[in-house]
Amino acid sequence: MRKVLVTGGSGKLGRAVLRDLVEHGCDVLNIDQAPLNTSICKSVKVDLANFGEVAEAILGGIDERGGPFDAVVHLAAIPAPGLASNARTFANNVPGTYNVLEACRLAEIRNVVIASSETVLGLPFETPPPYAPVDEEYYPRPESAYSLGKLLDETMAAQFCRWDPLLRICALRFSNVMNPEDYAAFPKFDSDPVARKWNLWGYIDARDGAQAVRRAIQADFTGFEAFIIANADTVMSRSNMSLLAEVFPGVPTKGNVSTNGTLLSIEKAKRMLGYSPQYSWRNEVAAKS
């Protein structure tokens, strides 16, 4: 059984991650400034802006909530552009990630997963993507303070790995996180091809996002790697080729483009992590009708 510390476990993706890790036999501690409204695991109030609090938690020094931890999963952040001022978003997210990575370094925790974001791929694609499906092969194109912060998180993580050849940090570039109750709105997306073009019509079921986190913890390599984490299909019933022709004319395709397969390539996560998404909005909507 692995002992795992999760930051931001009180949030939308975090609750699914805590549940998945506990169900797979991990002993989990959540640290978050917000309370965890379930008893699935222990939770401690920590502000990631405060290095002392973060270091105490990750070094395993909190009374009755001690370590040592085998792995740290860092999800806590203001999770999108426009939820707070740019300056607040940046000032909350980037130093928070530094504090977590630095505390992991001091604690000699060499198995770290951090939440990055699909936004680094160039969302909302006012400038069209270089090709579709997009993948991890081109340098990030952040278009917001939030996304710039995620790129800096990834950059810091790569440098921490350069400092310590035994360290692994997986940055998971999650697509737009969905819970099953969100799927009722999906069939309406088809009527407007532009409404969801901002992320190439992608999404990630929180439960599959949690699977990706667990597989990243179990991965078998050292160093830094970034992975796009999305579901296997788009949010649309219309075909990808007709969507691309209408909304992104002139953007070349790369490899095979299936009818409704994700345009946020998950091939690297499949290959290196064994990621295998289990859910689709299509099945959830069909099951309810």
Ligand X SMILES: NC(=O)c1ccc[n+]([C@@H]2O[C@H](COP(=O)([O-])OP(=O)(O)OC[C@H]3O[C@@H](n4cnc5c(N)ncnc54)[C@H](O)[C@@H]3O)[C@@H](O)[C@H]2O)c1
Which spans of this chain sit near ligand X (rule: CB under 6 A)?
A: 8, 10-14, 32-34, 46-49, 75-79, 92, 96, 115, 117-118, 174, 176-177
89/260 with CB nearer ligand X: 89
What is the smallest separation between the CB atom of 256 and ligand X, expressed in angstroms? 26
Query: Which residue spans within the chain are E strands per DSSP?
Result: 3-7, 27-32, 42-45, 71-74, 111-117, 168-174, 177-178, 204-205, 223-229
CB of 65 to ligand X, least distance (A): 15
The distance of closest approach from Cβ of residue 252 to ligand X in the complex, given in angstroms and rounded to an integer, is: 26
The set of residues, in sequence order, having a beta carbon less than 8 Å from that of 64 and lying 6+ positions away, is none
Q: How far is the CB of 90 from ligand X (least distance, A)?
A: 12
Nearest residue (CB) to ligand X, 97 versus 259: 97
Neighbours of 148 (CB within 10 A): 20
Q: Per the omega criterion (within 30 degrees of 0), is the bond before 252 cis?
A: no
Our CB check for ligand X shows the closer of 166 and 185 to be: 185
**CA dist 9 to 32, 74, 76, 248, 284, Å?**
7, 9, 7, 37, 25
From the CB of residue 277, how many other CB atoms can be counted at a distance below 10 Å? 21
The phi, psi pair for 233, rounded to 5°, reads -125, 170
Least separation in angstroms between CB 249 and ligand X = 27
**CB-nearer residue toward ligand X: 48 or 157:** 48
Residue closest to ligand X when measured from CB atoms: 11
Q: Which is nearer to ligand X, 212 or 243 (CB)?
A: 212
Rg (CA), the chain: 19
Q: How many CA atoms lie within 13 A of 204 on its CB side?
A: 30
Q: Which residue in 190, 175, 191, 28 sits closest to 115, CA to CA? A: 175
In angstroms, give the least distance from the CB of 206 to ligand X.
8
| CB nearer to ligand X: pick between 49 and 166 | 49
Element (H, E) at 240: helix 240-247
Q: Residue 46 or 161: which CB sits closer to ligand X?
A: 46
Q: Helices (DSSP H) in 12-139: which residue ranges?
A: 12-23, 51-58, 86-107
Q: State the minimum distance, in angstroms, from the CB of residue 58 to ligand X.
A: 13
